[in-house]
Amino acid sequence: MQKKDLGLLVLILVVGAITTALNPVFLSPVNLGNMANLVGLFGIFSIGIGVVIITGGIDLSVGSMFALIGVVFIDLMTNQGMAWQLVLPVAIGLGVAFGIIHGVLVTRFNMQPFVVTLCGLLIYRGAARYYMADATIGFGYAGGFDTLEWLASGRSFGVPHTFIAFVVVAIVMGIVLHRSVFGRYLFAVGKNEEAARYSGIPTSLVIASAYVISGALAGLAAVFLAFYTYSIQPSAHGNFYELYGIAAAVLGGCSLRGGEGSILGIALGTVLLQVLQNLVNLLGIPTSLNFAVMGTVILLGVLTDQQLQRRRARLLAVKAHQAKTASVQPARA
């Protein structure tokens, strides 16, 4: 565990302790279950966004992807009566397809990730609304997908399946990012793309893969989210959710300049964001202040982290300086 992640964990524990002191319901199994469910929902796609951020890019399109993939998903299930075993791969496949498009535009056509995914945000939102002619779509009376419903919104041993899925995704991505060759490539490309290319790393492929991962995880999250709200209003579903993902990644130590971050950090960032929203409701803080509370905590968190890092860097530089002088002195003598 890096120092950064530890600091974040401490922050979560402090916020949690304060909330518990003010309202013990915070630690009740029901509340923890609800929170775990939301952590799972938001965590899955936050990890995807985090991976893109680590390569020095950004993915603004996931919120709109939820709307588009969500309406297609519900439509195919309820109105077209497709089997869920088919629809689920279609939903994730759509996310992968969008990811491929983003990746190709960013690497082949050298477009800026911000621009590409911003256009994605607009296009997918528009497509979702057009697909539904702005009407809300819900699962209604349709049946035949009880298994999927149970998988997506049920609980086992009191643990929401969204959370279990999130933990699985986090562990797999944690290994990929922090232990595998591909993960090392991701960090190298994010930190110094040119040096990575000069070291024989297929940088375009690596960067494009990050967008594909983000798209696939967004597709998966879209299914979970559809089963959370049970109905989707194409104009509002998932609005701003990409910002939750970016916020979680940044809180979790991802640098928007790329090359930094950890899966554990992103997971903890997601937890903190959800704890904050929960706290607003539990403590009876006016809901209108919700975003303000979140923004303030992110700001303070990142600010503190940077100050601590700067101090650490200064200490390191002094130490390196001493080490250098020490190692060189005998050679000169």
Nearer to another protein by Cβ, of 10 and 140: the residue is 140
Please, what is the minimum distance in Å from the beta carbon of residue 76 to another protein? 10
- Which residue among 21, 110, 288, 333 contacts another protein (CB under 8 A)? 288
Nearer to another protein by Cβ, of 1 and 9: the residue is 1
**At a CB cut-off of 8 Å and minimum separation 6, what does 119 contact?**
none
Q: Is 197 in the site for another protein (CB under 8 A)?
A: yes
Please, what is the minimum distance in Å from the beta carbon of residue 179 to another protein? 5
Q: Is 317 in the site for another protein (CB under 8 A)?
A: yes
Tell me how far apart the alpha carbons of residues 318 and 333 are, in angstroms, rounded to a whole number.
23
- Tell me, what DSSP letter sits at residue 63? H
In the region spanning residues 10 to 69, those forming contacts with another protein, defined by CB under 8 A, are: 23, 25, 28, 30-31, 34, 38, 41
Of 2-10, 110-118, 210-218, 278-286: span binding another protein (CB under 8 A):
278-286
Q: Torsion angle, CA of 150/153/154/156, rounded to 10 degrees?
A: 120
CB–CB of 76/90 below 8 Å? yes
Total site size for another protein, rule CB under 8 A: 75
- Half-sphere CA count of 252, side-chain side, radius 13 A: 28
Nearer to another protein by Cβ, of 185 and 211: the residue is 185
Q: Is 225 in the site for another protein (CB under 8 A)?
A: yes
Please, what is the minimum distance in Å from the beta carbon of residue 145 to another protein? 16
Question: Cα angle vertex 88, ends 58, 208, to 5°?
Answer: 30
CB–CB of 102/42 below 8 Å? no
Nearer to another protein by Cβ, of 17 and 195: the residue is 195
Nearer to another protein by Cβ, of 109 and 133: the residue is 133
- H or E element that contains 137: strand 137-138
Q: Is 132 in the site for another protein (CB under 8 A)?
A: yes
- Tell me, what DSSP letter sits at residue 256? T
Nearer to another protein by Cβ, of 10 and 289: the residue is 289
Q: Is 277 in the site for another protein (CB under 8 A)?
A: yes
Tell me how far apart the alpha carbons of residues 39 and 167 are, in angstroms, rounded to a whole number.
10
Q: Is 149 in the site for another protein (CB under 8 A)?
A: no
Ramachandran assignment for 230, one of left (phi > 0), alpha (psi -120 to 50 degrees), beta (any other): left
